[in-house]
A and B are shown apart, each in its own frame.
Chain A
């Protein structure tokens, strides 16, 4: 993969304000290649804003972000986005395209066509029946659609995957299965993954580094294990307390 000495992503004094409102204060941060980072926080903590500044769906008001050593503000936004897989809660499959066309859209924008074999491979990668290639998105369930969303994000062989509440709209069983699948793909394809979530349990189970955001600032930057051991401060611990209490209550119920 990439040179391990150059961070996959580097944030230098990055901030975003909307008029008087500050969404992200001033973030300085490095993400090493191959890591699975979860960005956790309550609604309005600035976690989605921070993520979307990476592929310039939102432009920062201050600071600089470097992707594999290159300043993202110097790249054409469309070019930049084709280098990063993007999966979000809205899924956003194009309803007038078949599943195969949806998956192949990124390469098509670069004037290349994915072969049927490659589409099949991508569908199998996200555990979908390759026969689905010719279906329309409306014929699929929510979980199947987000699997297609993941396959679409991976079609251009990106080094990084940006995920904004990717499983937020799915039922718990589907959500769990798809989380596991993404974790597996992350390892298999040697991706660098950044996942925004408000669910601390999901972050603890999937990520190997957890960033907790509160009021536009990163208030904790640690591993799941240390968080469970009590590190990371009050805001982080308040978030950890929820799944921990649930786990305890469940354990008590178990006969």
Chain B
């Protein structure tokens, strides 16, 4: 309970950002939906196309819709120039505004097309122009229905805005995603509670406005709008801070990344930089975020860059791979690959010790024989990755079943027997803690996964910045990283990523 309260009190900034993002998305969605609704109410074809499009958008999962704006905005840079942001507020705003479109549009079109024809005839009959008719008759009579749509949109938008975290926009999703990865349930609960409370408050205020429109009580309309405006303005004021040179540190969505981001952050703060974190970025967008300058620094893994960014298939010796990556990053975008941190976080196939003993499996070669009767578990992206195809091909692996889990739940699935073998991560503390057997890779099908520190092109020449991070190169061995990871992931005496980073820093010095 105390942890929950503490977590809640730390939600000031995510909450304010969440309010601003949701309000802006609602405003944009509504500003777009209302004129479209007027047009649609006058043309059956426009109505069909507009409502069809809005419904189609609704069928796209919010997470995917948010992610899709990254490549879209990246492509639009050829038109608007390289300063167009591809991550953070802008794509989140656009995706959520699209999401808010449908309920407002549908209610407005329905209300406008179902107005009493007698009233519309009277409006024409008394000599109203089209604009007067819209302003004096159609808009006020449709207003309560439009407000009802806006309420639905507000609740959806506030809920979906938690997902903006995945594309680098701070929101109440930050504690939720961070908490899910580190199994810090108080953090998850605090994020969910805050976002639900915000949705209820927004719904209540807009409900008051709707009631005011319906009962023609101007005071209620004014009061509801004024309270909402105060909340939004308050959020706006609280997020304004001085424009110091702010460094944005990116991380993917697992404990090791959170901890390393904090470690980097602490060093940069000591060097005098103001630091922000963009946590929980997807693997697909984080590299682009760095090269485009949306984030300044993050840690990625050699094999990931090799396969995903460089599109290379073969697996050379690790030193050669790292050199080629350094060269490729410099040539391709000017990104500085500062060096390897000293440990690897490779995909490693792991089984429970007793089960491996029974099946007599010690290597991937052994596994191929038993595989047709076994279930394999992986993180959500593993089975789409080239590494999986490489391993399958090298050893002829065919499993009875493939199951996807978030990284955290994958280990529970293995200990619980839902999966017989998992594609674990070599730096994960739970391998040792759960006494798992890591299968050897005699054919060398899995590439090297050295953790590499990457710095955005615009910071590559910044000596103070680079010097602050240089001591991290070669400073973290795999045992140390495992211990730090386990401290964050375990159930008892759990540490926060920040505390783990502190501990790591002490080991380095």
Contacts and interface: CB of A to CB of B under 8 A. Distances in A.
Contacts of B129: 78
B338 interface: no
Interface in A64-117: 77-82, 86, 88, 90-96, 105-106, 109
A81 B132 CA distance: 14
B121 A88 contact: yes
A55 interface: yes
Contacts of A47: none
B141 interface: yes
A94 B119 contact: yes
B470 interface: no
B461 interface: no
B317 interface: no
A95 B124 contact: no
Interface in B67-125: 116-125
Give the residue among A79, A92, A95 with the most B Cβ atoms within 10 A: A92
A53 to B, nearest CB: 13
A147 interface: no
A109 B126 contact: yes
A169 to B, nearest CB: 10
Given A91-B118, A92-B118, A57 B124 contact: yes
Give the residue among A55, A78, A109, A152 with the most B Cβ atoms within 10 A: A78
B137 interface: yes
Nearest to A92: B122
Contacts of A93: 119, 122
B125 A55 contact: yes
A106 B122 contact: no
Given A79-B127, A106-B126, A109-B128, A95 B121 contact: no
Nearest to B125: A86
A82 B124 CA distance: 10
B132 A109 contact: yes
Contact of B141 (A82, A86, A96, A106): A96
Contacts of B127: 77-82, 106, 109
A171 B367 CA distance: 90
Interface string B124-140: 11111100100011001
Contacts of A55: 125
A82 B127 CA distance: 5
Contacts of B393: none
A95 B132 contact: no
Contact of B121 (A80, A92, A96, A109): A92
A81 B125 contact: yes
Contacts of B318: none
Interface in A34-72: 55, 57
A46 to B, nearest CB: 18
**Is the interface on chain A under 10, 10 to 19, 20 to 34, or 35 or more residues?**
20 to 34
Contacts of B118: 88, 90-92
Contacts of B140: 96
Contacts of A94: 119, 122-123, 136-137
B118 to A, nearest CB: 3
B128 A92 contact: no
B141 A90 contact: no
A77 B116 CA distance: 22
Nearest to A101: B136
Contact of B119 (A82, A86, A92, A106): A92
A106 to B, nearest CB: 5
Contact of A81 (B119, B120, B124, B136): B124
Nearest to A79: B127
B435 interface: no
A82 B120 CA distance: 15
A95 B126 contact: no
A95 B141 CA distance: 8
B355 interface: no
Contacts of A90: 116-119, 121-122
A13 B127 CA distance: 26
B129 to A, nearest CB: 5
Contacts of B136: 94, 105
Nearest to B130: A78
Nearest to A96: B140
Interface in B404-420: none
A111 to B, nearest CB: 11
Contacts of A57: 121, 124-125
Given A82-B127, A109-B127, A109-B132, A91 B141 contact: no
Contacts of A88: 118, 121-122, 125
A109 B122 CA distance: 13
Contacts of A91: 118, 122
Nearest to B129: A78
A92 B125 contact: yes
A88 B266 CA distance: 78
B338 to A, nearest CB: 67
Interface in B470-484: none
A157 to B, nearest CB: 13
B464 interface: no
A55 B127 CA distance: 9
A78 B123 CA distance: 10
Contacts of A109: 126-128, 132
Contact of A95 (B117, B119, B125): B119
Contacts of A96: 140-141, 216
Interface of B: 116-129, 132, 136-137, 140-141, 216
Closest 8 CB pairs of A and B: A92-B122, A90-B118, A82-B127, A81-B127, A86-B125, A92-B118, A78-B129, A78-B127
Given A91-B122, A96-B216, 17 more contacts: A57-B124, A81-B127, A82-B126, A86-B122, A86-B126, A90-B117, A90-B119, A92-B119, A92-B122, A93-B119, A94-B122, A94-B123, A94-B136, A105-B126, A106-B126, A109-B126, A109-B128
19 contacts: A55-B125, A78-B129, A88-B118, A88-B122, A88-B125, A90-B117, A90-B121, A90-B122, A92-B119, A92-B120, A92-B125, A94-B136, A94-B137, A95-B141, A96-B140, A96-B141, A105-B126, A106-B127, A109-B128
